[in-house]
Structure 1
Amino acid sequence: MMRLLLKNAHLYRHQAFSDTDVLIEDGIIKKIGACNEEADQVIDLHGALLSHNFIDIHTHLREPGFEHKETISTGSASALYGGYGTIVAMANTLPCMDDKETIEDFTKRCEKDAQVKTYTYSAITEGLKGQKVVDMEENIKQPIVLGFSDDGKGVQKDEKMKEAMTRAKALDSIIVAHCEDESELHGGCIHEGHYAKEHGLIGINSASEYKQVDRDLHLVDEIHNRYHICHISTKETVALLGASRARGERVSGETSPHHLILTEDNIQDCHPNYKMNPPLRTKEDRDAIIKAVNDGVITVIATDHAPHARDEKSKPIDKAPFGIIGLQHAFPLIYTYIVEEGLIKLETVLDCLTTGPAKTLNLDASIEEGMKADLCAFDLNKEYTIKEEDLKSKACNTPFLGWKVKGALIMNIVDGQLLVEE
Structure 2
Amino acid sequence: MKTVLGILLLLGSPGVLLAQRNPDGDLGVPLLSADEKAVVQEQDAEFISAVRPVLEKASQSTVRIWGVQGRRDVRLAYGTVIGDGHQILTKWSQVAKVTEDFRVETWDHQVRPVEVSGVYEDEDLAVLTITGDPLVPVKWSSEPLPLGKFLIATQPDGQMAAYGVVGVLERNLRDGEPGYLGVYGDPEFNGPGVRVKEVLRGTAADDAGLKEGDLILRVNDKVLTGMSELVDALAGASPGTGVDLLIKRDGQELAVDTILGSKPDASQFAGSRLAQMERMGLEEGWSQVRSGFSKVVESDMVLLPDQVGGPLVDLHGNVVGVSLAQASRTRNYFVSASRVQELLGQPSTDPAVALAKLKEREEALESAPRLRPQVIPLSPQEGRDMMEKMNRNLTDMGRLADRIMRELGALDNE
If the length of structure 2 is used for normalisation, what is the TM-score?
A: 0.24
- Taking structure 1 as the reference length, what is the TM-score of the superposition? 0.24
For the pair shown, which has the larger CA radius of gyration, 1 or 2? 2
